[in-house]
Structure 1
Amino acid sequence: MCTAFVSIEPGSAVPVLLLSVRDEYLGRAWLPPDHHWPQRPELLGGLDLAAGGTWLAVDPERRTAACLLNGFGPLAPADTRLSRGGLPLTAVREGGIGHLDLSPYDPFHLVQVRPDGARVTSWGGGLLTEHELPTGLSVVLNDGLEGMAANRTASERVRALMAARADHFRARFAAVPRPEPAAGGPTEPAWGDWLPIVTGDGLALDGDAALIQRRDFGDGRIWGSSSVSLLALGPELLRYDFATAPVPADGSGWRRMEV
């Protein structure tokens, strides 16, 4: 249950904030963000060692980023299926993915952020939709923007877990001052009151509303949050902070990426 929160305040010194939590089977190998793609050396992101792509790509030159969430719906044909991990890389370099033939891809939601706003592109069941995000706080789940994708999970339990997470953390972010991170300096003062919230807000890892989670499905299959990313974008600003999950509540474990 990957989740992205996007805060847009056009009059702010830092108009766009992105929180991205990656959830995956924890046995899937990956590497932390770096310049992993020789053919695109300027791009920064974590590397999925299973397929060679990424769940979040950043282009420091253009001050743009794109994060990927899996969706629900009919899968692409097995004989032509392509990894979705290349889509964030394409999106940040080419300004979007609407020009691509998406039929080889399983369902997904792609969140693209830039200094003046954000957009969500969703694909599933042969349908492509795009939504420019409004001012304020938006949440993107595996069920799409605000959980309202055309193709959603058939599991009432999974839907309830996503709703609990969205409701709890929307309320928590609304209850504290919105940060305006500077480009430099440590993570903790930069993100202020958001930081203890994004590290889990004290919730149990298996709680219904858990943002940072661990769930044991047996036979050694552990599903959970593998990393957390925080990005701040403005006219002259791009800040990217990254941590492997679970993140210590004292604020340690964060790394400000050089962009």
Structure 2
Amino acid sequence: MCTAFVSIEPTASVPVLLLSVRDEYAGRRWSPPDHHWPAHPAAVGGLDLAAGGTWLAVDPGAAGAAGAAACLLNGFGTMAPARARLSRGELPLIALRDGGLDRVDLERYDPFHLVLAGPAGARVLSWGGRTPAEYDLPSGLNVVLNDGPEGLAADRTASELVRSLMAARAAHFRARFESAARPAPVPGPATTEQAWGAWLPIVSGDGLALDDPAALIQRREFGDGRIWGSSSISLLAFGPDGVRYDFGRAPVAEPGAPGDGWRRIG
């Protein structure tokens, strides 16, 4: 149940903010953000060691140039044929390189939602296995779920439990972010705490238990012996001076286990 919050304020000093929480099975191995892909030298992101791709890739941009990011969420719908299936983890890298997915054969990928963000705004590319859709996100605070922008994709989960958990998370944290002062992080030496201000305690879980229905930082056991939960958090700010990227490891493996703190990526 990955979630992305996108705040768009065109007249603000930092017009676009992106918060991405990655939820995954605890046993799926990964590496923290870095330049992991020789074929995509500009891209920075976490590496999924199972398939070689990523859930979020950032192009910080050259000096004086605007940066961009592509954030992947799994979707629901018709799965790709097993014999032709490709990993969705390569899609953020392709989208950063090409500015979109126009040249991609989507039928080879399982359903997804891809958030493309930069200082001029953000849009979502959605694929449910039938017809692709593209949405420009409006000004204000947007939430993108596995059920699509605001949970309104054409193809959505049939699970009432999953739907209720996504709705609880979106409702709680939309209200909390909207009630707090919107930060204006810029590239520079400021710490994560200084840069993200009133949003950081909210991003860090807002004091909710890991098994709370609304938890942003979560840990779930659905009865199959495997642990599902939040593995990492990415905070990105897009402004005229470039991209600020802060990354935090979440305590997915054990209840109450500490993360390794926040790390400034760019």
| TM bucket normalised to smaller | over 0.9
Cα deviation for residue 228 of structure 1 reads 0.1
Q: Which runs of 5+ in 1 are unaligned?
A: none
Give the Cα–Cα distance (whole angstroms) in 1 for the partners of residues 41 and 161 of structure 2. Answer: 42
Secondary structure of the corresponding residue to residue 231 of structure 1 = strand
After TM superposition, where is structure 1 displaced by more than 3 Å over at least 4 residues in a row? none
What code does the residue aligned with 2:237 have? A
Select 1:189's aligned residue among 194, 204, 210. Answer: 194
> What is the percent sequence identity of the aligned residues?
71
Q: Which residue of 2 aligns with 1:253?
A: 261
Instruction: Check whether the contact 1:31–1:46 (CA below 8 A) recurs between aligned residues.
Output: yes
Q: Say whether 1:84 aligns with 2:85.
A: no
Instruction: Check whether the contact 2:15–2:239 (CA below 8 A) recurs between aligned residues.
Output: yes
Cα deviation for residue 125 of structure 1 reads 2.8
Secondary structure of the corresponding residue to residue 180 of structure 2 = coil
Instruction: Check whether the contact 2:75–2:146 (CA below 8 A) recurs between aligned residues.
Output: yes
Instruction: Check whether the contact 2:249–2:259 (CA below 8 A) recurs between aligned residues.
Output: no
Q: Which residue of 1 aligns with 2:67?
A: 63
Instruction: Check whether the contact 1:116–1:235 (CA below 8 A) recurs between aligned residues.
Output: no
Give the Cα–Cα distance (whole angstroms) in 2 for the partners of residues 138 and 108 of structure 1. Answer: 17
Give the Cα–Cα distance (whole angstroms) in 2 for the partners of residues 216 and 156 of structure 1. Answer: 16
What code does the residue aligned with 1:254 have? W
Give the structure-2-normalised TM-score: 0.94
Instruction: Check whether the contact 1:188–1:251 (CA below 8 A) recurs between aligned residues.
Output: no
- Superposed CA deviations along residues 200-254 of structure 1, whole A, max 9, x for unmatched, are 1001101100010000134540000000000000122210000000399x99700
Q: Which residue of 2 aligns with 1:17?
A: 17
Cα deviation for residue 126 of structure 1 reads 1.2
Q: Which runs of 5+ in 2 are unaligned?
A: none
Q: Which residue of 1 aligns with 2:162?
A: 158
Moved more, 121-130 or 5-14: 121-130
Instruction: Check whether the contact 1:76–1:106 (CA below 8 A) recurs between aligned residues.
Output: yes
Secondary structure of the corresponding residue to residue 164 of structure 1 = helix
Q: Which residue of 2 aligns with 1:113?
A: 117
Instruction: Check whether the contact 1:199–1:246 (CA below 8 A) recurs between aligned residues.
Output: no
Q: Say whether 1:225 aligns with 2:230.
A: yes
User: Would you say how many aligned residue pairs link Structure 1 and Structure 2?
Assistant: 258
What code does the residue aligned with 2:262 have? W
Q: Say whether 1:44 aligns with 2:32.
A: no
Secondary structure of the corresponding residue to residue 211 of structure 1 = coil
Give the Cα–Cα distance (whole angstroms) in 2 for the partners of residues 44 and 152 of structure 1. Answer: 30
Instruction: Check whether the contact 1:5–1:19 (CA below 8 A) recurs between aligned residues.
Output: yes
Q: Which residue of 2 aligns with 1:169?
A: 173
Would the alpha carbon gap of residues 251 and 10 (structure 1) be closer, same or farther in structure 2, given more than 3 Å must change? farther
Q: Which residue of 2 aligns with 1:203?
A: 208
- Superposed CA deviations along residues 117-150 of structure 1, whole A, max 9, x for unmatched, are 0000000131100000100000000000000000
